[in-house]
Structure 1
Amino acid sequence: MALNLNKLVDKAYEGKSLKELAAAPPSALEGLTTKHDEVLAGLGIKTVADLGKWKYAERAAAIAALADFES
């Protein structure tokens, strides 16, 4: 089954493979610009994969996912 990620990425990256998207700059994601690339590069984040594996993004995602289960 093919995934349609077109609503998640900039028009220039529509139809690209997951490997291509992972290697792309963060601005490949819908809503981010080359200015975001510059800021994120200062944090050592140069690709979509880097952003997804950034420890602070992982921690924030875990907290957000688990918060719904807190009583």
Structure 2
Amino acid sequence: MAVSVDLAKALDKAYEDKTLEEILDAPVDALAGLTPKHAEALQELLGITSIRDLGSNKYFATAGVLVALANRAG
């Protein structure tokens, strides 16, 4: 089954036409709204250097699951 997702508003312009693998390997400031300063802080505090790292970080993953559960229950 083919899946199509429009990420234009979620990514900086430079990453809008990249493959999923390229996006996952991109620095976190490739996400719209995050700056190089945010990326630096995430790297220093949690060792996160890419969107893949951010998405698979246990703290962010747990928070995402908790929010999804709360949204489903409410």
Regarding TM over 0.5, the answer is yes
Measured against aligned partners, the alpha-carbon deviations of 1:15-70 in whole angstroms (never above 9, x if no partner) come to: 11110000000000000010011001111100000000010100000110111316
User: What root-mean-square deviation, in Å, do the aligned CA atoms of Structure 1 and Structure 2 show?
Assistant: 1.3
Counterparts of 1:5 and 1:26, CA distance in 2: 14
Greater percentage in helix: 2
**Does 1:13 find its partner at 2:9?**
no
The alignment status of 1:45 with 2:48, answered yes or no, reads yes
Amino acid of the residue matched to residue 27 of structure 1? D
Question: How far off its partner does 1:3 sit?
Answer: 3.0
**Structure 1: gaps spanning 5 or more residues:** none
Aligned length in residues? 70
Segments of structure 2 that go 5 or more residues without pairing to the other structure are: none
1:7 Cα offset (Å) = 1.2
TM-score (ref. length: structure 2): 0.86
**How many Å separate the matches in 2 of 1:20 and 1:56?**
23
- Rounded to whole Å, the distance in 2 between the matches of 1:40 and 1:61 is 17
User: What is the rounded CA distance, in whole Å, between the counterparts of 1:11 and 1:19 in structure 2?
Assistant: 16
**Stretches of 4+ aligned residues off by more than 2 angstroms:** 1-4
TM-score by length of 1: 0.90
Percentage identity across paired residues of the two chains: 47
